[in-house]
Amino acid sequence: MGYTFGFGSVLIVFVVILVASSIRIFREYERGVVFMLGRFWKVKGPGLVLIIPIVQQVVRIDLRTVVFDVPAQDVITRDNVSVKVNAVVYFRVVDPEKAVIQVARFFEATSQLAQTTLRAVLGKHELDALLAEREQLNADIQKTLDAQTDAWGIKVSTVEIKHVDLNETMIRAIARQAEAERERRAKVIHAEGELQASEKLLQAAQRLP
């Protein structure tokens, strides 16, 4: 009698544990990639999902947009100027199956790819473009990165360059260039003023009897 009661209790506990381990609840922004005996079966969720313990395994994937900083990268521009550039990237998983099967640790992979893409794209442009054409460069990097991550089920929606840092020598050179440009413009304005003044004097002289 006692043995039967004990066995029944163990059986009940086992069944409860089995049922509890088979239940998964996925939030609205989550999906479960289910494998059956090691092979992909289907993507399930959101809501209540039943999993067969041992036979099935599930990987939970978050579909919300992820934001990460690209650490400062050393970039050599097309006109051979060395700068440090950092950026921020916004991406999300659009195909959970690919994100699990096609790449290991998709977050780290996307982060590493963003760094190499940033260097590659910016290296094709001159310094003036990095400083003046920020929006176009953002779009170029986003388009290139998104095309590469498409096979992983990743959608890169936005890339924003945050800072372009120059060394002190380059900063001084740019300051000298700006000063020279201001002086040139001042001389042009001064020359134009003298020309206009001389033309007015000539016109006045021509009116004299």
Based on the structure, what is the number of domains in the chain? 2
Q: Which of 150, 166, 182 is the last residue of a domain?
A: 166
The CATH number assigned to the domain holding 149 equals 3.30.479.30
Per-residue pLDDT band for 47 (boundaries 50, 70, 90) equals very high
What tokens were used for 119?
């260097």
**Is 178 a residue whose pLDDT tops 60?**
no
Helices 106-122 + 134-149 axis angle, to 10:
140
Residue 101: domain span: 66-166
96-131: per-residue pLDDT in tens? 999 999 999 999 999 999 999 999 999 999 988 988
My answer on whether 146 and 81 are in the same domain is yes
Q: What is the mean pLDDT of residues 176-204?
A: 62
My answer on whether 77 and 44 are in the same domain is no
Domain for residue 209, yes or no?
Answer: no
Q: What is the pTM of this model?
A: 0.75
